[in-house]
Every structure is written in structure tokens, then in C-alpha cells.
Structure 1
Amino acid sequence: MPILFAPLIAIALGAFFAWLARGELARHEASAVASRGFGVVALFAIFVYAPIVGYFVAFHADWAYLYWIRPRAMASAIDLALVLASGGTVLLGFLAAARWARIERLGPVAIIGAVPVAVVLSLAMVWQRRLSTSATFAHFHGDFGTEPITSSVLGRGVLLMDVLGLAGIVWCGLQMRSMGRRRPHASAGSPLSGSGPLSGPSKRWQKRKH
């Protein structure tokens, strides 16, 4: 995906994951950073999202920067920093929405996720030609040697990364759903456990019946 869109999409994904993790977040009063949901999102950011962004920066850098700058003129450390920042923004989106997801306030969570998506869609419409063209920086600005993204290696890369990204999102969703269904273990003195104040009377009642 274009590096300019990556942080915005990451925020939206983080908010989406926070809403899926609302059940697990509500059961724990600790910070969202200490939640299992945060750990799952961190794995997604490190092993799925950041590598996808890194793929385009490494192999299709001209398109990744939407032909606004010449990537070869930039230091590789800047590319790496932008890729890592894009992955970290998924976590920021999760944390920003976690406080609202914990109390099941869908409105604020939806705003956190919808605003970046709206910005991406607006920019995609304005930069449609840049997004749909596979070329080098020189070819794009010289208007020669370009080809539609649908018939290029870049297009196949976009399709592959979309599939991998969707698989990662589904995996995260399943993990969040599983955590949301888990119930806290009953304590020794609770009515759900086999011992405690309620167990004595129940045993005596059973003896009386006999």
C-alpha cells in the first residue's frame, strides 16, 4: 500500500480490533497495554502489517510514495522508520479506541476508525491516476513507459498483499472473539466454586432429604 496511506489505515484497523476486543477489555481493569488483545494486535502489526508496507517500499518504492518524491534520493533509514511507524500506528489506534470499546461506546470508536478511512478514500479519488499506474518516478513524470496496475507485477503484488492482510485481520478477529467468550475463573469463596459459604447449607439440605 502507499506509505502515505499506511498510518491512516493502521489507525482504522486498530480501532476495529479494539471494538472486537471489548469483552476482554471490559473484564480487566488494568491498562489496555496489559491486555491480551494488545498482544494480538502487536503480533499483527509486527508480522503482518509492517511487512506488507515494507514490501511496497522495498520493491515498488516509486508507487509506494505515489511518485511525489524520488525514493532513491532518500536514505534507507527513513524508509525503515516509516515502515516501523506504520506498524506502530496500529497499536496507537487500538489504544485510542480501547477506553471507549471497554464501555461499549460504539460512536467514538466508529469516529476513530471512520475518519482515517474517509481521508484515504478522498485522497484515493484525487490521486486515482497515481494509484492505478505502474511506473518509475522518471517514467511517470515523463509520461512514457507506464502501464496499468492491473496488468503489472505491482498489481499482482497488491493482490497478494491484500490476501495476506485479510488473512491477518481474520486471524486477529478470531482471537478477539475467542477471548471475548472466555469467562473469568471462579474464586474459592464465590458461589460458582464448589466451596464457600453456600456449600455447607446445601450439603445439610441434601442430608435432611435422605
Structure 2
Amino acid sequence: MPAPIAPLLAFALGIVLAWLCRPDADPEAPLWDRPTIAVALYALLVYAPAAAYFLLFAGDWSFAYLVDSRDVPSAVSLVLVLLDAAALVFGFNLGRRALRRRPLAALGWLALAPAALAAAFVLVLHRRLGVDATFDQVESDFGLRPLPGSPLGYAILWMDAVVVAGAVFTARALGALGPGRRAPNPGGGFLGPVEPPSLATGGGSEGPVEAAPEDEPPRRLGQGRRR
């Protein structure tokens, strides 16, 4: 993915994961709870390495051939990768808190706005992003290869598939970590939320248990009640 739009896509993806984790929107939840840690692991282990791959092995394409990647310090590339991971986690936390105060439509705009900016960047520079070359080749207009069918094109397909698969796995993990999850039924299907048995109902669902009357004297074995 191009370096300028990677943080925008990460932020939008964090908003989408927050919407999938909406049952866990607890106002008293700590900042680094289990859902946030799961998203942070996805950002550090999947999304950030995918963005770093293009900065390392296709730096000219990653910057849309606007600058020579050889002139970009390695520290700047490292900051961009960390920014990608931070944008995903920030979007997730912001989305979870926005769900408590705003309707779902407002949350959709939080995800659509950065995604629209990323799409506009790709549309404007689609000719540059559609070739596999170096900065010098693009400036001199020679030796350009179409992106489809090139090694870079296959790398883009592979990395995008890894990012999507990781997002799906993270979304399923967020559903399992939510407090509203349902307990599996060994006989098939799912049960509703498991509730502890109440003392008032005797631990079952057959209604309250009637207490024995206290005015009746206890009976003894072999003896009846006197008349």
C-alpha cells in the first residue's frame, strides 16, 4: 500500500473493528483492555509489516514516484510504519467511544472520510501507481512495466490478502472477547447469556418453592394425627 494513504486506511479499519466490537463499549473499560490489545497485536504483527514491506522493497512505488526513496532517511520510514500501527489502534479506541455518544451513521462518516481521501489519492495518481519501475525510470519515461502481472503486482495482492485475513481473524477474536458472548451448547446451537441460579427460584425455572407451614406439628413414624 502507498505510504501516504496507509495511515488513513489503518484509521478507517480501526473504526470498522470498533463497530464490530460494539457490544464491548463499556464506559468504565480501561484503555488497554483485551479488545484493544488484540487490535494492537494485529496492527504490529500484520498491518505494520505489510506497510513496511513496500517501504523497504518498493520504496519508489510506495511514495508514488514523487520522491526518490533513496533520499528518505530510514528513521522517517520507521516513523511511518509506527504511525500506521498507531493510527489503527487510535481509530479503534476512538470508534468505541464514539459509539456511546453518536449514532451509527456518524461512526460511518468517521470511517468513510479517511477512506475517501485514500481513494482520491489513488485516483489522482493512478498512472504512477499502475507501473512497476524506479524513480529514475519514471522521471526518464523508460523501462516502465505495467503493475498487473509484475512481481510488485503479485506482492500487492499477497499483502492485501494477508491484511484482510488478519482483519477477519481479529474481528472474530473481538466477538469472542465481548461480554455479550454466548456459551456454546454441547447438544448443538448456542445458549443465551448464562445467568447464575437464583435462590428465590431454588436454582431452577419451575417457580418459587413453597415453604412448609409452621403451625402443623411434625409427624412421627407409625403415628397419625390425633382427632
Does TM, scored on the shorter chain, surpass 0.5? Answer: yes
Q: Normalization by structure 2: what TM-score?
A: 0.80
- 2:154 aligned to 153, 156, 161, which one? 156
Distance 1:102 1:206 in 2: 46
Cα–Cα, structure 1 residues 146 and 175, in superposed 2: closer, same or farther, change >3 Å?
same
Matched with 2:69 is 71
Matched with 1:182 is 181
User: Could you tell me how far 1:151 is from its partner in structure 2?
Assistant: 2.1
| More moved, 71-80 vs 33-42 | 33-42
Does the CA-based 8 Å contact 1:12-1:114 persist in structure 2?
A: yes
Matched with 2:45 is 47
| Matching of residues 1-210 of structure 1 within 5 Å | 1-25=1-25, 28-31=26-29, 33-102=31-100, 105-180=103-178, 181-182=180-181, 192-196=195-199, 199=202, 204-205=209-210
Cα–Cα, structure 1 residues 103 and 172, in superposed 2: closer, same or farther, change >3 Å?
farther
SS of the residue corresponding to residue 166 of structure 1 reads helix
Please, which runs of 5 or more residues in structure 1 have no aligned partner? 185-191
Matched with 1:187 is none
Runs of 4 or more, structure 1, over 6 Å off, are none
Cα–Cα, structure 1 residues 207 and 4, in superposed 2: closer, same or farther, change >3 Å?
farther
User: Could you tell me how far 1:183 is from its partner in structure 2?
Assistant: 6.1
Identity of aligned residues (%): 34
Distance 2:64 2:88 in 1: 22
User: Could you tell me how far 1:105 is from its partner in structure 2?
Assistant: 2.2
User: Could you tell me how far 1:71 is from its partner in structure 2?
Assistant: 1.1
Matched with 1:189 is none
| More moved, 108-117 vs 174-183 | 174-183
Please, which runs of 5 or more residues in structure 2 have no aligned partner? 184-194, 214-227
User: Could you tell me how far 1:37 is from its partner in structure 2?
Assistant: 1.8
SS of the residue corresponding to residue 55 of structure 1 reads helix
Distance 1:104 1:193 in 2: 33
Higher relative contact order (CA 8 A, sep 6+): 1
Distance 2:112 2:165 in 1: 21
Does the CA-based 8 Å contact 1:32-1:95 persist in structure 2?
A: no
The one-letter code sitting in structure 1 at the alignment partner of 2:21 is A
List per-residue Cα deviations over 1:52-108 (Å, max 9, x = no partner). 000000100000111111111121111111111111100111122111224672122
Distance 2:155 2:66 in 1: 21
Distance 1:69 1:177 in 2: 42
Does the CA-based 8 Å contact 1:32-1:38 persist in structure 2?
A: no
| More moved, 106-115 vs 34-43 | 34-43
Does the CA-based 8 Å contact 1:22-1:102 persist in structure 2?
A: no
Distance 2:125 2:111 in 1: 22
User: Could you tell me how far 1:120 is from its partner in structure 2?
Assistant: 1.1
Cα–Cα, structure 1 residues 4 and 204, in superposed 2: closer, same or farther, change >3 Å?
same
Distance 1:137 1:34 in 2: 42
Matched with 1:188 is none
- Give the aligned length: 200
